[in-house]
Amino acid sequence: MKNAISHFLNSKIFCFFLALLICGVARPQVFQVPIDSTYTNNAVLSFTNITIPISRMSLAGNVELNSDTSLVRVILIDVNDFQYLVFESYPMIDTLTSFSVDNFCYETCILNDIIIKEIVIQIYNASFHFDYFEYSAVKTAFNQDTANKIIDNNELPRRRAAGYPQNKDNCLLLCSTV
């Protein structure tokens, strides 16, 4: 009888951990790809070596906007040629001319298992030091709390200081498409 109870409890514990694993509660595996390059002109970075589907991508780097017409834009393109905006900055949305971003994503915070083809960097009268990008290969559960955390992490303080709305309902791309 004692062995039967022990076996029953062990099987319940095993099933619990199996359920956690199957439901995606396990911590996603995050990969970091170092770039460590400064761009002052447009560039395309190809990534044919990343063949696993990804569910998230973010970047880190330093931006310098040189005039009121400056632009820095980073776009992820998947193997189906769909484009996702990772980062964008220009003087009309940013009050600072020189700043850093870390773990930043716009439309790439939550992806539907895409495969990376390339990253396009668009520069006009600016410079961008691309430190690295990170991607996750495990789909994470999505809910409104997750969206709010992502929005909070990516809502740069300089934009709030410039009078941009802090209402999370203004997140059109992320919240309305998921």
Residue 9 and residue 116: Cα distance in Å, rounded?
A: 44
Asked whether residue 17 is domain-assigned, the answer is no
Asked whether residue 122 is domain-assigned, the answer is yes
pLDDT of the residue at 108: 94
pLDDT in tens, the chain (178 residues): 555 555 544 555 544 444 444 444 545 688 999 999 999 999 999 998 889 999 999 999 999 999 999 999 999 999 999 999 999 999 999 889 999 999 999 999 999 899 999 999 999 999 999 999 999 987 655 545 555 555 555 554 444 344 333 333 333 333 333 3
Residue 112: give its domain's CATH number.
Answer: 2.60.120.1310
pLDDT of the residue at 48: 87
Asked whether residue 148 is domain-assigned, the answer is yes
Asked whether residue 19 is domain-assigned, the answer is no
Number of structural domains, the chain?
1
Residue 9 and residue 109: Cα distance in Å, rounded?
A: 39
Q: CB within 8 A of 156, min separation 6: which ones? A: 94, 99, 101
Q: In what order do the strands lie in the sheet with 71-78?
A: 43-46, 116-124, 71-78, 83-89
pLDDT of the residue at 6: 53
Asked whether residue 20 is domain-assigned, the answer is no
CA distances (Å), origin 46, targets 76, 79, 102, 120: 10, 11, 22, 9
* Three-state SS at 15: helix
Asked whether residue 22 is domain-assigned, the answer is no
pLDDT of the residue at 134: 96
112 and 143 in contact (C-beta within 8 Å)? Answer: no
108 and 77 in contact (C-beta within 8 Å)? Answer: no
Question: What range does the domain containing 96 cover?
Answer: 28-177
Asked whether residue 139 is domain-assigned, the answer is yes
